[in-house]
Amino acid sequence: MSLLSVENLVVRHGLLQAVRGVSFSVERGETLALVGANGAGKTTLLRAIAGAHQPAAGRVLLDGADLTSVPSHSRVGMGIALVPEGRKLFVRMTVEENLLLGRTAGRPGEWSVDKVLEMFPNLKPRRHARTGYLSGGEQQATAIGRALMSNPDVLLLDEVSLGLSPLIVDRVYAALQGLIASGTTIILVEQDLNRALSVSDKVICMLEGRIALAADSKSVSRDEVTKAYFGLHRQKAEPA
Amino acid sequence: MTNQIIQGILLGGYYALIACGLSFMFSVMRIINLAHGSLAVFAAYALWWLASRLHIPPFFGLLIVLPVMAVIGWALQRFLLERSARGGALLPILTTFGLAIVIDNMLFEQFGADTRSLAPFIGSLSYDSWEWPGGIYVGKLAVIMFATAVILLGGLQLFLTRTRLGRSIRATSEDPDTAGLVGVDARRANAIAAAIAMVTVGLAGAFLGMRATFDPYAGAPQLLFAFEAAVIGGAGSLWGTLIGGIVLALAQTLGAQVHPQGFLIGGHAMFLVVLFVRLSASGLGLRGLLRLPSRSGS
């Protein structure tokens, strides 16, 4: 049984249908990259999996349990954590307080404040600083650490490299490689195709709310993904 | 003058107590609770009823009234404020305004227009005082009120910063949607915050009844004092609320020194000055406030 399954998911923003009947599944320990142009529905899909958007149709299953009507805070307790686009830190709270908030759901596991600070050493001297005063890289590290503190089964990462300098992106991805190597199941939304293909096991390219391409990252060529990205290559949506 | 300053500071403790709940609800739920004063008077009446009918002294009565106020706060948030907040920012204000009218008239129907006080039920505490060096007399009740305010505000500060629930409440106040994404039940956090706010309202109501008289329509002036203290101290800041209460009380005391009827005017004047300074600092001065909206198309 797949760890996470999405079945015919439809998500609307008012009259706009942002996600149109998307289906895929992720196995335990896999890394899935979601790529696509702006407005393709990647963020909406990720947020629907996390429970921030209620789908109009379809289901989200975690280990076979239907999460579709479960509120977002309960999904964290069931093992889904989202690192949202734009980090969405609590800027009036310190790094440590943001990290401790990740423990609210009370899932047992290996992650602690000290372990996060070990993973992101640049946060150590900033432990008691308000996150509103951090650099973009430090904020992203805090956002990832906060999600890890909930000891998730599935980690959803939404554009973690957005707005960061290449050097900082390298550092963030070095940390992510460690997570991937440790067997954490990850769904990653990424604009940078090369990075997405290099870190993932599977790739899904979305176009106008639908899956334009679903393939194995190691066997698909960058050219094929680029064609799907721009709508030049479209295959029938089918489970990845 | 030293005596007046000390009395003013101690009176500030009461204003901080009454403003604490208003400020707390505003900072967490972004709701200005116009029923705040009426709920404090309701708590005072509840204590008076327990004392006069069941002979339960007010300080013991708090053990009954404060949990009841917590339940009222939780229910208010869950069944009234949460629903009205979905209709925009104005609707909760109108809802609490309506609630204040309902509470005031319900108290009037139940207890009549007579003024009441809890002072007869607390023995000599309502008028006893300590003599300090320099011939200064400070009321024991005023000192207890001030100490209660400091302990309450300090306790709330510790609760908000050191406990998981406190952090959840702060996260909800900052961004309820993201709070949900890190595992915080924002509805529960808001309901608990409302319950805590109502406990502080209950305490303020108790001290209102002990230090003065009250009647069914005494809520409006209490709301005004709470609002002024909260604005002076910076709405949402707990220690700011204490400073706001003290500044308001000192301004009132100073006003009373200038003119016998200057007590309230002194406080109002201080509130307006601070409000003007705050608006100016945020780039919206008096001219901005008075500026008429431009006509469409012009």
pLDDT of res. B110: 94
Between these two residues, B18 and B236, which has the higher pLDDT value?
Answer: B18
pLDDT of res. B285: 59
Report DSSP state, residue A218. T
B153 burial class (0-12, 13-18, 19+ CB within 10 angstroms)? buried
pLDDT of res. B290: 52
Residue B295 has pLDDT above 50, yes or no: no
pLDDT of res. B296: 42
Instruction: Select from A90, A100, A103 the Cβ nearest to the Cβ of B175.
Output: A90
Mean pLDDT computed over A77-89: 93
pLDDT of res. A234: 55
Query: Measured between CB atoms, does B174 come within 8 Å of chain A?
Result: yes
Shortest alpha-carbon distance between residue A160 and chain B (Å): 16
Domain layout of chain A by residue ranges = 4-229
Share of chain B above pLDDT 70, in %: 94
Q: How confident is the model at residue B277 (pLDDT cuts 50, 70, 90)?
A: confident
Instruction: Select from B167, B174, B184 the Cβ nearest to the Cβ of A73.
Output: B184
pLDDT of res. A175: 83
B174 with A101: Cβ contact below 8 A: no
Q: Which residues of B touch A71 (CB under 8 A)?
A: 180, 185
Query: Measured between CB atoms, does B109 come within 8 Å of chain A?
Result: no
Mean pLDDT computed over B14-30: 89
Instruction: Select from A77, A88, A101 the Cβ nearest to the Cβ of B167.
Output: A101
Query: Measured between CB atoms, does B128 come within 8 Å of chain A?
Result: no
Q: What is the pLDDT of residues B109-145, one digit of tens each?
A: 999 999 999 999 998 988 888 888 888 888 999 999 9
B167 with A97: Cβ contact below 8 A: yes
Report DSSP state, residue A70. S
Between these two residues, B281 and A97, which has the higher pLDDT value?
Answer: A97
Question: What token pair was written down for B209?
Answer: 């009844």
Question: Nearest Cα to A95, choosing from A147, A136, A137, A138?
Answer: A138
pLDDT of res. B115: 95
Shortest alpha-carbon distance between residue A234 and chain B (Å): 33
Residue of A nearest to B186 (CA): A73
How far is residue B182's CA from residue A147's CA, in Å, rounded to a whole number?
Answer: 7
Query: Measured between CB atoms, does B168 come within 8 Å of chain A?
Result: yes
Confirm or reject CATH 1.10.3470 for domain B2-244, answering yes or no: yes
Q: How confident is the model at residue B292 (pLDDT cuts 50, 70, 90)?
A: very low
Shortest alpha-carbon distance between residue A203 and chain B (Å): 25
Residue B8 has pLDDT above 80, yes or no: yes
Select the residue from A43, A46, A73, A91 to test the B interface by mutation, using most B Cβ atoms within 10 A: A73
Domain layout of chain B by residue ranges = 2-244
Q: What is the pLDDT of residues B213-227, one digit of tens each?
A: 999 999 999 999 999
A73 with B183: Cβ contact below 8 A: yes
Residue B287 has pLDDT above 70, yes or no: no
Mean pLDDT computed over B2-17: 90
Interface of B with A in 143-162 (CB under 8 A): 161
Sequence-ordered list of residues with C-beta below 8 angstroms from that of B61, at least 6 positions apart, any chain: B46, B47, B50, B51, B206
Residue A189 has pLDDT above 90, yes or no: yes
Between these two residues, A170 and B235, which has the higher pLDDT value?
Answer: A170
Residue A96 has pLDDT above 60, yes or no: yes
Mean pLDDT computed over B178-184: 94
Q: Which residues of A touch B174 (CB under 8 A)?
A: 90-93
Burial B274-298 (b: 16+ CB within 10 A, else e): beeeeeeeeeeeeeeeeeeeeeeee
The residue written with tokens 């899935």 in the block is A32
A90 with B180: Cβ contact below 8 A: no
Residue of A nearest to B175 (CA): A90
Residue of B nearest to A87 (CA): B178
- 8 A C-beta contact, residue B160 and residue B23: no
Q: Which residues of B touch A139 (CB under 8 A)?
A: none
Question: What token pair was written down for A158?
Answer: 């939404």
Select the residue from B169, B178, B237 to test the A interface by mutation, using most A Cβ atoms within 10 A: B178
Mean pLDDT computed over A33-40: 91
Q: How confident is the model at residue B211 (pLDDT cuts 50, 70, 90)?
A: very high
Share of chain A above pLDDT 70, in %: 97
Residue A231 has pLDDT above 90, yes or no: no
Q: What is the pLDDT of residues A209-229, one digit of tens each?
A: 999 999 999 888 888 888 888
Q: Which helix (DSSP H) or strand (DSSP E) does residue A134 occupy?
A: none
Shortest alpha-carbon distance between residue B67 and chain A (Å): 26
How far is residue B214's CA from residue B291's CA, in Å, rounded to a whole number?
Answer: 40
Number of A–B residue contacts, CB under 8 Å: 69
pTM (global) more than 0.90: no
Q: How confident is the model at residue A44 (pLDDT cuts 50, 70, 90)?
A: very high
How far is residue A6's CA from residue A61's CA, in Å, rounded to a whole number?
Answer: 6
B186 with A73: Cβ contact below 8 A: yes
Query: Measured between CB atoms, does B238 come within 8 Å of chain A?
Result: no
Q: How far apart are the first and last CA of chain A?
A: 14
Q: How confident is the model at residue B293 (pLDDT cuts 50, 70, 90)?
A: very low
The sign of the CA dihedral A176, A179, A181, A184 is negative
Question: What token pair was written down for A103?
Answer: 């423990």
* Average pLDDT, rounded, for chain A: 90
The DSSP result for B55-109, as a single string, is: ---HHHHHHHHHHHHHHHHHHHIIIIIHHHHTT-SHHHHHHHHHHHHHHHHHHHH
Across the beta sheet with A202-207, the strand order is A80-83, A154-158, A185-189, A31-36, A202-207, A210-216
Q: Which residues of B touch A158 (CB under 8 A)?
A: none
pLDDT of res. B37: 96
Shortest alpha-carbon distance between residue B92 and chain A (Å): 25
Q: Which residues pair with B136 in a beta bridge?
A: B132
Residue A132 has pLDDT above 60, yes or no: yes
How far is residue B223's CA from residue B34's CA, in Å, rounded to a whole number?
Answer: 7
pLDDT of res. B286: 57
* Average pLDDT, rounded, for chain B: 90
Q: How confident is the model at residue A15 (pLDDT cuts 50, 70, 90)?
A: confident
ipTM above 0.85, yes or no: yes
Residue A195 has pLDDT above 90, yes or no: no
- 8 A C-beta contact, residue A196 and residue A203: yes
Q: Which residues of B touch A93 (CB under 8 A)?
A: 167, 170-171, 174
The topology (CATH level 3) of A4-229 is Rossmann fold (3.40.50)
Report DSSP state, residue B175. -
Residue of A nearest to B161 (CA): A97
How far is residue B145's CA from residue B7's CA, in Å, rounded to a whole number?
Answer: 12
Q: Residue A111, SS3?
A: coil
Residue A14 has pLDDT above 90, yes or no: no
Q: Which residues of B touch A90 (CB under 8 A)?
A: 170-171, 174-175, 178-179
> Using CA atoms in the order B40, B50, B70, B225, what is the torsion angle rounded to 10 degrees?
10
B118-125 CB contacts, 8 Å cutoff, 24+ apart: B118/B44, B118/B47, B118/B48, B118/B51, B118/B58, B118/B206, B118/B209, B118/B210, B119/B209, B119/B210, B119/B211, B121/B48, B121/B51, B121/B52, B121/B57, B121/B58, B122/B57, B122/B58, B122/B59, B122/B210, B125/B210
Instruction: Select from A72, A91, A100 the Cβ nearest to the Cβ of B181.
Output: A72
Q: Which helix (DSSP H) or strand (DSSP E) does residue B18 occupy?
A: helix B2-29
pLDDT of res. B298: 34
How far is residue B207's CA from residue B141's CA, in Å, rounded to a whole number?
Answer: 8
Question: Nearest Cα to A87, choosing from A31, A19, A135, A37?
Answer: A135
B181 with A100: Cβ contact below 8 A: no
